[in-house]
Structure 1
Amino acid sequence: MLGPVLLVSMDGSVLFLAMPRITQALDPTADQALWILDVYGFVVGSLLIAFGNLGDRFGRLRLLMAGTAVFGLGSTSAALSPSPELLIASRGLMGLGGATLLPSGLAVLSELFEDARQRSRAIGIFAATFAAGFAIGPVIGGQLLSHFDWGAVFLINLPVTAAFLVLAPFVLREVRATRPGGIDVPSIALSAGGLLLTVYAVKSGAAYGPSPRAAVAGIAGVGVLVWFLLRQRTLEYPLVDVRLFRGKAFAVAIATGLLSLVAWSAAAYLTGVYLQSVLGLSVFEEALLALPGAVVLMLACVFTPAAVERIGERYALVSCHFFMAVGLILLLATTATRGILWYAVSTVVSGVGYGISFSLVADTAVGAVPANRGGSAGAIAETSNEVGNALGIALLGSAATLVFRLCGPGIAPTLGETLAAELSDAVSDQAKEAFVCGLHTAAGIAALLCAGLGVLALRWIPRKPLWNKYSK
């Protein structure tokens, strides 16, 4: 069951490596290239909540298998796409399948392990697998692109999806909620539409700067989401039970999931550019350099449940914020000429925090609600991750870009475009120094946010166990 989850998490990191080859083969416009990268995240982020609830009602295993089949179909279509338009559509189809895999997989996993301790460890492994995909994606993608065409990064999904579809009916059991009430279609439309418009506005504004279109989309998206939340308060059987957020522990845990992905995605994106464009490392060298931190992250996911038994959920949740903050602060020691060691140490230290967060947030989402709401609760946790991933690159990436424009040579808005021009060594050095300043700004902001939420968690989370009666 972990195979499809691994594929979903690998998707983004592999695609970043393949984009230069895709650009050469399909010649997309700048706007089309952005959609190739972003449409998957848009679809996943906008549909997670809806599909979590559909799985609760119609069967989580059934939805999980359908999503796996759709993901495999989208991967095949993407690998064989002859045009940017078809590749964008195929990526959207992959997102449709991916939106079913995360909440349904988490809910099915929770049903396989009825014992609370075993379930916590299983969810920790689930989170570690998800984290492993981010880490090994560049390594596998780099090897594939060294020997095959760009479509291979999508075809690699097919053996795993086929194996799951064959074995899942024999090793997993169907689970569905015995929940009354029908499907509220307007709520599904509002949640999907609101998230899609909001994420589009954030990413469009980050990529192209402020524009009337992005502003209208953002205002409309926020308005639709507010409408969605107000509607949930009036329904007898809501799509999202907003009462869950009345508990400070649950709210802090979801905020932790959001912020950890904001910090992780921004740091991963900016340090990737730093290592390749500033320090001159290859993609494969960068992937190998990130492996120690990735291993620590995975181990933290696996061993967090055991640590919680010894120190308690409160201190585990609080400590993850300070591990992330310290790891991000270490990036402030990097320079335009050296910083490999600081980067490696940063990924190891912050990896502990990310691992604790990934494991605890998922366990909180499933353990804090009744069994028949496991899919929707898991969807809320995963949605916080997807939204955090989008916001990290959009907001903190925009902060880094602003600093680069203010401090750089003013030749082009990005480091890559600047270095592509014929420049003197002095101008190139100025551009690299400006990018490092932007990296430091983004890392500093993320560190402050992590430390601030850690202080709030220390004040808001009670000393008694986080989990409510449903996890017992």
Structure 2
Amino acid sequence: MNTDELSIPQAASSKAWLGLSTVLALVLLVAMDGSVLYLAMPRLTSAILPTADQALWILDIYGFVVGSLLITFGNIGDRYGRLKLMMTGAVIFGLGSLGVAYSTTPGSMIGFRALMGLGGATLLPSGLAIVSALFPDPRQRAQAIGIFAATFAAGFAIGPIIGGLLLQRFDWSVVFLINVPVVLAFLLAAPVLLREVRSTTYGRIDAPSLLLSFAGILLFTYSVKSAAAEGFTPVQSIAGIAGLLALAAFLHRQTKIAFPLLDLSLFKDRIFSIAILTGLLSLVVWSAAGYLSGIYLQSVLGHEVFAAALMALPGAVVLTATCVGTSRIVERIGRKAALVGTHFLISLGAFLLLFTTTEAGVMAFVASTVIAGVGYGLSFSLVAEIAVSAVPSERAGAAGSIAETSNEIGNALGITLLGSLAALVFRLSGPGMAGTLNETLGHPGIAEATLVQAKEAFVSGLHLAVGAGGVLMLLLGVVAWLWLPRRLPQ
């Protein structure tokens, strides 16, 4: 019998697999909370009446906080202990979930969603490091990391569906209350099943870099949202300029300090750069299409939230199955073809949403999610793997952190940029009664002509947003095909 086969059952105990399950429960929550509100937004906006820009902040402040702090918390975990940081983050995540569930104003919900992001940012890098330490055997470790990545992808996919199923019977707050028992179970099981993980080689945390990156992202985001909702103003313009200057200063600083938060030298490798751009843009299209489609199905076509959740199910199943089967796909067509195919499939899925109208569009939506689901599944599985394999082994940790960050930032940027583009179209071509479709529909005694105009304006915004996303993915696919070498490193 092959000695490698003998090593597999001996390498990790049942306790290690239970530990993996404990970590995966939190990973699933973090991913789900990046998308769980897509179908819940119509119900939520009716309950707490946010403005157009507040609704966008509610959706994406979580992703921006997570993405802005992933690399920083990876460094902190190396210094003070991954398990300790993860348990602290779980407590913060749980408290933020409770706060969101009982929020009665848009401002409090935005604040508690940010607190959830603060907790979530500790969970992903620490969780991956702890999982790796549970499995000393390389083959089992690779299997466990693959399960970790597939769980994260599945969380993004099933978030809207879980939200829709819960909203069929309960109030919108339940989509956050379900986090609390999972967090409590983790806090009880983690000290028993998991062990502390530290790095003996870590660098100093550069506070100016942290502040510049976080302030730059938030100021730029505020500027984009404000311009879409209210037009250009002095405050909005100053915030946008300040944000861009802060981001430029952050990037410049990374080239001057000994321990940068973002290792820009990695982007000199074209394979790494294309992989990171793929992770970023795929989530840009994913989040914008998911958010706008959820409103479209419910507020334009008039479907109940449960029906909308069922319509999203085929795409989620295809996405998850693709994640699991990516290795077989790569064996058949090669890494380059799989990565390039990611762009074209997501682009085609986005373009199919252009066939939606105010009267019909369910078939176009389902076809879009199924075709794009294959692309998203390939992207979720390949991006981190290709990014890490493109750099020297001693820089694999930094490459993995950047890959995770690109996903989270992309998830938030999609709603900020493409969601704001759709909001701008609605503001310019809608009836002018309110900044969002749901606010407009909520006006008592609304005339039929006004109702039609509002729905047509929203669909026009949807088309422009997904069309722009589809074009971006198509262009990146062409660049990847022309620029990448025929064979990518394993």
- TM-score of the superposition, structure 1-length normalised? 0.88
State the Cα distance separating 1:424 from its structure 2 match: 4.2
> In structure 2, what is the Cα distance between the partners aligned to 1:180 and 1:409?
56
Matched letter for residue 468 of structure 2:
I
**Matched residues, percent identical?**
62
1:309 is matched with: 331
2:62 is matched with: 40
Q: 1:57 to 1:240 in 2, by over 3 A?
A: farther
2:457 is matched with: 434
User: Are the equivalent residues in 2 in contact too, given 1:120–1:363 (CA < 8 A)?
Assistant: no
> In structure 2, what is the Cα distance between the partners aligned to 1:245 and 1:116?
27
Q: 1:56 to 1:305 in 2, by over 3 A?
A: farther
User: Are the equivalent residues in 2 in contact too, given 1:56–1:374 (CA < 8 A)?
Assistant: no
Matched letter for residue 320 of structure 1:
T
User: Are the equivalent residues in 1 in contact too, given 2:56–2:416 (CA < 8 A)?
Assistant: no
State the Cα distance separating 1:377 from its structure 2 match: 3.1
CA RMSD of aligned residues (A): 3.0
| 2:143 is the alignment partner of 1:125 | no
1:234 corresponds, among 229, 251, 256, to 256
Moved more, 346-355 or 201-210: 201-210
Q: 1:388 to 1:323 in 2, by over 3 A?
A: same
Moved more, 301-310 or 199-208: 199-208
State the Cα distance separating 1:423 from its structure 2 match: 4.3
Partner secondary structure for residue 234 of structure 1: coil
State the Cα distance separating 1:296 from its structure 2 match: 0.7
> In structure 2, what is the Cα distance between the partners aligned to 1:78 and 1:428?
31
1:59 is matched with: 81
> In structure 2, what is the Cα distance between the partners aligned to 1:70 and 1:273?
30
> In structure 2, what is the Cα distance between the partners aligned to 1:93 and 1:309?
42
> In structure 1, what is the Cα distance between the partners aligned to 2:167 and 2:201?
48
1:137 corresponds, among 143, 156, 159, to 159
| 2:485 is the alignment partner of 1:462 | yes
2:236 corresponds, among 214, 221, 233, to 214
> In structure 2, what is the Cα distance between the partners aligned to 1:255 and 1:16?
24
Q: 1:277 to 1:328 in 2, by over 3 A?
A: same
State the Cα distance separating 1:252 from its structure 2 match: 0.5
> In structure 1, what is the Cα distance between the partners aligned to 2:88 and 2:413?
29
Moved more, 66-75 or 177-186: 177-186
1:191 is matched with: 213
1:294 is matched with: 316
1:358 corresponds, among 358, 363, 380, to 380
> In structure 2, what is the Cα distance between the partners aligned to 1:458 and 1:57?
41
State the Cα distance separating 1:457 from its structure 2 match: 0.7
Q: 1:256 to 1:111 in 2, by over 3 A?
A: farther
Matches within 5 A, 1:133-172: 133-172=155-194
Question: Deviation digits for residues 369-421 of structure 1, max 9, x if unmatched?
Answer: 56665554333222222222222122222333344455545555443344344
> In structure 2, what is the Cα distance between the partners aligned to 1:438 and 1:185?
40
> In structure 1, what is the Cα distance between the partners aligned to 2:389 and 2:488?
12
Matched letter for residue 461 of structure 1:
L
Q: 1:72 to 1:409 in 2, by over 3 A?
A: closer
Moved more, 290-299 or 163-172: 163-172
Partner secondary structure for residue 255 of structure 2: helix
1:264 is matched with: 286
1:470 is matched with: none
- TM-score of the superposition, structure 2-length normalised? 0.85
